[in-house]
Structure 1
Amino acid sequence: MSDGSGRDTRPHGGAVALRAVAVSGVFALLVGLPWVARSRLPEPLATHWSGSAPDGSMPLTAAALVPAGLWVAVVVAGAVARWRGGEQARLWSAAGLGFGGAMLTGVQASIVSANLDRPSWQEARPVGAEAALVLAAAVGAGLLAGWLARRGGPGPRAVTAADETRLELPDGQRAVWLSRAVNPWLGRLAAVAGLGAAGSALGAVAGLGGPAWAAAAPPAVVALAAGGCSSVRARVGEQGLTVAFGPLGRPSRHWAPEQIASARAERRTPAQVGGWGYRLSGLGTTVMLRRGECLVITPRTGADFAVSVDDAERGAALLNAVIAHRNALDGHADRPPPSTD
């Protein structure tokens, strides 16, 4: 399916799997938080406050299942919006899921914390500052989810030209090549670890464990490392080559045309470079997200750098054209590239 600009707007399998993991994880947190703490909670437990005093309660089972049911309704509404709407509906759906998931889990953690070790629901502690913090976190999660959906929408897109070692660019013409690659397994690992970090933090905040940072730090580190290596975006233009990592596009590396001797497409496998992710080997540095075609540059100083992205041959052709054009402007068209021996 295309949006009319040549871009593929169908959801990638990895993105669908990540959404499924996130949706399931939020559901598990909503049901699991009160269930894990059930031996330390009154029956029923306070679920609504008027000012600083609780004025409403629910049985523990209902307190676990009602928020989970609301989450299911949010997910269904988001899916319908994505199905019936266009690009804007997709972005609003992602933002809504981020906001709703953060809001519901934050409220659930606050309810559990307020009722913990209380003899009756009428004696649940007041819920004050937590409400503002939960709302702020939910707004932030919604904005982040919408922003990530916007960044992750377009698939690979390249300049329209024949595959050559170097493209011929008429004077004054600008061309840009964009491509990306995703490793769904690393993305799923990041999602699972991130949910583990969120669950540990929520449990700690609710009083079910030790300090929040100690509980959440190990899975958070795994989530950040896996997420940073789960996707990559490459951009070739008149400013050279930029490679951005992870769904946030950070960190990133940039090479100006004058820093690059040449570019090429080359097939590489994880076995050749020592595995998946950001690898250092005798071939130089390789960002290996999937086996096959890689865009490889030979810098004027330092080792080769390769990134596994789609349509690497065309990206290399455009990059060579940009390098030649810059060399011609600088009066170095005949300068040979450094030896790689």
Structure 2
Amino acid sequence: MTDRMKRPGGGAWGAAVWITGVFALLAVLPLATSGRLPERVATHWGGAAPDGSMPVWAASAFPALIWAALALGTVILTRRTPVPAPPWAGATLAFTGVFMAGTQASIVRANLDRADWREAGSVGLGITLTFVVALTAGALGLRTGRRGEPSSPSAAAAEAGASMEIPTGQRLVWLSRTSNPWLHLVAAVTGVAALAAALAAAGGLLTGMQWAVVTPFALASILTLAFSSAQARVTQKGLEVAFGPLGWPARRWAPQDIESSRAESRTPAQVGGWGYRLSGSGTTVMLRAGECLVVRPRKGAEFAVSVDDAERGAALLNTLSAGRPQQ
């Protein structure tokens, strides 16, 4: 381990100060102004008028805990990679920190000197301005992170991988499948939540179908399940990567459409998380950290999928792409 990896740099200290500062603002602002706030403060607006409230202590603790959980998750992901923090980490912390702090300030301002939370003013303009500032902060965080991003991957890794000799008269097929049990669990939990909301509405426990509850959970369950597993197959027709338990959707490349293929080790922190990810490295289907099959199409960005035995699959694909068909 190098000295640079042992000692936290300026970026790490800056992130620590930012995380601590946002946490302190979220937690302290309502408590510091509690003398000018009603016993319960408005925290949710249905249009111009408030329609939800919390005690002052909850309005202080709830957003602070959300921020702490998000920041901790980001730190854990970035520490699982040996390279400096990826650009998305700075962008996430910058955008979310500014937005949550601005929203907290808007909520406190709307409740100041009100006898009852139902008399709170509107937060629409404040939230809109906060969102614009947060987008700007996120963009700056992303740009700053990319300036410090190491050149990746190495020149050797970026080159085409090895190929293999195919005996005359033989046809070789390579197949590999990977799944993520945690994504399966998330799909199951969100699916159960959607079903429970629908059944509650059908039983009269909720007013109407409550699409605002059912739809997000159902959509999250379907999308998570669809990209919780992947199967990669190389044949004389090229590469096919099929997703989910039904093998749909799928992406396909003919051999002549692929410039090169290689095996490369990647982590969720490098590509921005789990599942189907878009980043500066192209598209990555990240189901587990480690070996990935990476293809460089003749047109478009690179595509990678985390599967076992990727080196053998890349070698066969390189043979086919080089115009040496199976006999």
Which TM-score band (shorter chain)?
A: 0.3 to 0.5
Q: TM-score, normalised by structure 1?
A: 0.46
